[in-house]
Each structure stands twice: as C-alpha cells, then as structure tokens.
Chain A
Amino acid sequence: GAGVSQTPSNKVTEKGKYVELRCDPISGHTALYWYRQSLGQGPEFLIYFQGTGAADDSGLPNDRFFAVRPEGSVSTLKIQRTERGDSAVYLCASSPPSSSRNQPQHFGDGTRLSIL
C-alpha cells in the first residue's frame, strides 16, 4: 500500500519568505508527526497530532513554525519569515490507532528545504 507522501520533495526559497510543506499520512493512521533533520544528525521532534488536534507541539523551535491537520488526515507545516538556519530535511511520520501508546512511526522521504 501507499506509504507516507510528502510534497514537495525539494523546496528552495529566499530568506524571509513563507513556505508550506505537505504530508499525506498512511490511510487510516490517526497519529501524525513532524520532525526536522539536519545534515549528519538524527531527526528532531517538532509536533504530534492525534486526529485533528496538536497533542504535543513542544518541539516547535519558535512561533514562526505552525502546523495544521484540519480534517485529521493531511497535514501542513508552515514556516513564516524563513531563516537560513531553517534549512533542513523536514520529515513526516504516521502511526496507526492503537490502545497502546507505543506504535512504530512510519516515515515519508521528507522535504529538503533550502533557504538562500
């Protein structure tokens, strides 16, 4: 079946611009996660959705970052007034509903964001 889909795969923009990154989770997965991965590092948690609501946004670095999931499926990560330090690969993951809080997260291939 289809995995997690992220678009665009690459995004190049100028400092100060606004960007939106899209994530289509695996069908039926209720939990959705955003991570950011810098070169040579492991992914860093940004935000977690359970259904439509952000259950944990403690990883968002500042108020320029915002994410939504209005219908409990597709999610958009929005970054305002981009800075060169925002350059990274932004990864999305999803996991299925379960009575156990611990389920494997399945990742997309990410959006490589480059801020010039």
Chain B
Amino acid sequence: GESVGLHLPTLSVQEGDNSIINCAYSNSASDYFIWYKQESGKGPQFIIDIRSNMDKRQGQRVTVLLNKTVKHLSLQIAATQPGDSAVYFCAENINSGGGADGLTFGKGTHLIIQP
C-alpha cells in the first residue's frame, strides 16, 4: 500500500560509530520527507527534512540522503552518542494536490547505543 516503512526495527551501534537508518517509501508523489527522533514518553522531535528536488542535506552530525529512483531515504548520524538512543521515524508528505499536509509515518527504528 501507500506507506513509509523501515528496513530494521532495531539497530545497535557502538558509541562513537556512525549510524545509518534506512527507510523505504512507496508513493512516487511524495515530495517532502522528515526524520523525527522520539524518546520514551515524549513527542517526536524534528531532526532534519529534505524536499524531493534535493538528494542530500546535512545538519549538525546528521545527513539525510534521498534516492527517488529506488524510493529510499536514509539518515546518517555521525559519531553516535548515548543521547542518540531513541526511536527514529521517517515521514513523508504526499503531494496529492489537495493541500493536505498530514504526514505519513513509518513504524520506526529503535537505535540502541552500546558503550
């Protein structure tokens, strides 16, 4: 169906290593993508976004890559820290032409940082 999904439910990395979280989407009409971080008991926290006219965007310690050919999105976190432990969601905004701006979220990847 038209949904955003993630390849792995859990990702475990060593502190200091780089993390890569992947996301596949199925709707070619999607034109805006966001990565969110959610800690237990908290709401999703905005990390970085990218529009469909771009293929890469960098923030502080994070990079988002968009491959529209294979409908794939990834979040790279450099030098992972204990505070990066959380569930990460990718979300898409489908350009239906009707002005609807509700995001479609995937199920999330739980990032675990090993000391």
Instruction: Flag if B42 contacts A109 (CB, 8 Å).
Output: yes
B interface size (C-beta, 8 A) = 27
Residues from chain B with a CB closer than 8 A to the CB of A4 are: 43
B102 touches A56 (CB 8 A): yes
Once the chains bind, are B91 and A102 in contact (CB under 8 Å)?
Answer: no
Cβ distance B102 to chain A, nearest Cβ, rounded Å: 3
Count the A residues whose beta carbon is within 8 Å of the partner chain — how many?
A: 29
> Any chain A CB within 8 A of the CB of B101?
yes
**B interface, CB within 8 angstroms of A:** 4, 31-32, 34, 36, 41-46, 49, 51, 89, 91, 93, 98-108
Having A58-B100, A91-B43, one finds 19 other A-B pairs with CB under 8 Å, namely A41-B107, A41-B108, A42-B89, A42-B106, A43-B105, A45-B104, A47-B102, A48-B102, A55-B99, A56-B101, A58-B102, A102-B49, A102-B51, A102-B101, A106-B46, A109-B41, A109-B42, A109-B43, A110-B43
